[in-house]
């Protein structure tokens, strides 16, 4: 039976991936950090088919122990400090977790899987943030990196060390360069969910406005449920490789606001949106738009949910959640 070990199981992608792999009949092990992580219980309740293991990307022995217990055929390294703005606040922690954490997992795989014909297939969650101040439009697997945040720098290290271990040790190691992907499981700190949640609360009269930073930034936004399928497909190929996963469309924060407010019948969003210097970044990534040609041609992958569908899904979800809270 196929066995998957997932770091970042308590995050957005970890939950989608666990659901997806469960549907494919995998035995699933999820790594949870901390001595009493409150999100571990949520995983046990919502995903009873996941065996929760204790581990931390900053602690090599714990990763070895997780691998020894799970004996996985596939490892998905989704764990990271993933909030770009936060990475300026705790840059060293970000480098240690998001960057060096990848190296630790690769070393753990070498230790447990053996040096020759290592049977463990490895997926690294690389990011379009690595393109940063973009050198070309759209961005493909061949576009040079120019990260703009401690997070982006850490992801470049994680990406490069994954490629290096593949080339040095013949590991089956893939890196998915995923562009922004969202959905109802997105953390409230990220701009899309912050907006969908606020729009729902404004519609219900429990919040008056929303404070945001730079509204001009453009992102290639897709649906997380579509993107975890691409992760899995990468590990089912004959040869390991790196792939851009994106929709090939870009939209501004203002466009997201427009659609989100329209979904609850508010035609003009401007009176509800304030700008606050706290939410601007020391260095911004102005424009991201991916070229997913390779993923489409070699993996047969394409996104199912489009931009209006994504905004609608998130706003409707948050409206239902916030309404339920009010009726309690
Ligand atoms: P997320 O919701 O923020 O989840 C991050 C996960 O990492 C959480 O489960 C978190 O655990 C875990 N984690 C943090 N520090 C850890 C540590 N020291 N050891 C082990 N686990 C740790 O992120 P996501 O959106 O699901 O993204 C998944 C991965 O894809 C991340 O690596 C992210 O950088 C990358 N990525 C995301 C996107 C996107 O648009 N979503 C795009 C490109 C790449 P706790 O819950 O305990 O904090
Ligand atoms: O939603 P965001 O915080 O996502 P960001 O920075 O693009 O990073 C996400 O996508 C990356 C892939 O490209 C991942 F690697 C990473 O882990 C994460 O999942 O911000 C999006 C844009 C930025 O330009 C930001 O400046 O929205 C702008 N923004 C404007 N006001 C805001 C806000 N972002 C946040 N989080 N909060 C605001 O109030």
State pLDDT tens for residues 257-287.
999 999 999 999 999 999 999 999 999 999 9
Residue to substitute in 8, 102, 145, 213 for testing ligand 2 pocket (most ligand atoms within 8 angstroms of CB): 213
* Contact in structure between 288 and 219 (CB atoms under 8 Å): yes
- Indicate the average pLDDT of the chain: 98
Amino acid 1: pLDDT: 86
* Contact in structure between 181 and 247 (CB atoms under 8 Å): no
Q: Does residue 109 carry a pLDDT above 90?
A: yes
Amino acid 281: pLDDT: 98
Tokens representing residue 278 in the block: 């706290």
Amino acid 274: pLDDT: 98
Q: Does residue 19 carry a pLDDT above 90?
A: yes
Q: Which helix (H) or strand (E) holds 33?
A: none
Tokens representing residue 82 in the block: 């993933």
Distance 243 CA to ligand 2 centre (A): 21
Amino acid 156: pLDDT: 99
Number of the ligand closest to the Cα of 181? 1
**71 CB-near residues (< 8 Å, 6+ apart):** 3
* Rounded distance between C-alpha atoms, residue 173 and residue 195, angstroms: 36
**310 CB-near residues (< 8 Å, 6+ apart):** 182, 183, 192, 221, 222, 223
* Contact in structure between 295 and 230 (CB atoms under 8 Å): yes
Amino acid 116: pLDDT: 82
* Straight-line distance from the first to the last Cα atom of the chain, in angstroms, rounded to the nearest whole number: 44
Residue 127 pLDDT class (50, 70, 90 cuts): very high
- How many angstroms separate the Cα of 46 from the Cα of each of 51, 229, 265? 12, 20, 33
Distance 113 CA to ligand 2 centre (A): 36
Q: Quick one: which atom of ligand 2 is closest to the CA of 280?
A: 26
Q: Are β-strands 218-219 and 251-252 bridged in parallel, bridged antiparallel, or unpaired?
A: antiparallel
Residue to substitute in 191, 252, 257, 288 for testing ligand 2 pocket (most ligand atoms within 8 angstroms of CB): 191
Amino acid 239: pLDDT: 98
Mean pLDDT in residue range 289-309: 98
* Rounded distance between C-alpha atoms, residue 126 and residue 37, angstroms: 25
**pLDDT per residue as tens digits for the range 231-249:** 999 999 999 999 999 999 9
CA angle (295 as vertex; 293, 299 as ends), nearest 5: 135
Check pocket membership of 39 for ligand 1, CB cut-off 6 A. yes
Amino acid 117: pLDDT: 86
Q: Does residue 328 carry a pLDDT above 90?
A: no
Residue 8 pLDDT class (50, 70, 90 cuts): very high
Q: What percent of the chain has pLDDT over 90?
A: 98
Distance 127 CA to ligand 1 centre (A): 11
**pLDDT per residue as tens digits for the range 145-166:** 999 999 999 999 999 999 999 9
Place of tokens 């571990």: 40
Tokens representing residue 327 in the block: 């009726």
């Amino acid at each position: 039976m196929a066995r998957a070990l997932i770091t970042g199981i308590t995050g957005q992608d970890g939950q989608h991936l666990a659901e997806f792999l469960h549907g494919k009949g995998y035995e699933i092990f999820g790594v949870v950090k901390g001595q009493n992580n409150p999100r571990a219980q949520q995983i046990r309740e919502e995903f009873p088919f996941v065996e929760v293991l204790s581990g931390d990307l900053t602690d090599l022995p714990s990763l070895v122990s997780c691998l020894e217990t799970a004996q996985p055929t596939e490892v998905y390294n989704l764990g990271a400090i993933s909030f770009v703005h936060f990475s300026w606040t705790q840059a060293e922690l970000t480098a240690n977790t998001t960057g060096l954490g990848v190296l630790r997992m690769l070393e753990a795989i070498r230790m447990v899987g053996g040096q020759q014909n290592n049977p463990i297939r490895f997926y690294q969650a690389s990011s379009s943030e690595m393109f940063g101040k973009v050198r070309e439009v759209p961005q493909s697997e061949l576009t040079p990196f120019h990260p703009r945040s401690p997070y982006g720098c850490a992801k470049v290290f994680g990406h490069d060390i994954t490629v290096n271990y593949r080339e040095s040790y013949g590991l089956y190691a893939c890196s998915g360069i995923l562009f922004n992907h969202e959905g109802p499981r997105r953390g409230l700190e990220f701009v899309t969910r912050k907006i969908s949640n606020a729009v729902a609360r404004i519609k219900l009269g429990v919040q008056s406005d929303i404070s945001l930073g730079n509204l001009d930034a453009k992102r290639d936004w897709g649906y997380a449920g579509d993107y975890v399928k691409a992760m899995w497909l990468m590990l089912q190929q004959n040869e390991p490789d790196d792939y851009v996963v994106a929709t090939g469309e870009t939209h501004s924060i203002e466009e997201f606001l427009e659609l989100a407010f329209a979904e609850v019948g508010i035609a003009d969003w401007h009176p509800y949106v304030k700008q606050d210097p706290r939410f601007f970044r020391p260095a911004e990534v102005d424009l991201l738009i991916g070229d997913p040609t390779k993923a489409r041609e070699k993996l047969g992958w394409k996104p199912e949910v489009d931009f209006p569908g994504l905004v609608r899904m998130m706003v409707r979800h948050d409206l239902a959640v916030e309404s339920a809270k009010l009726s309690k």
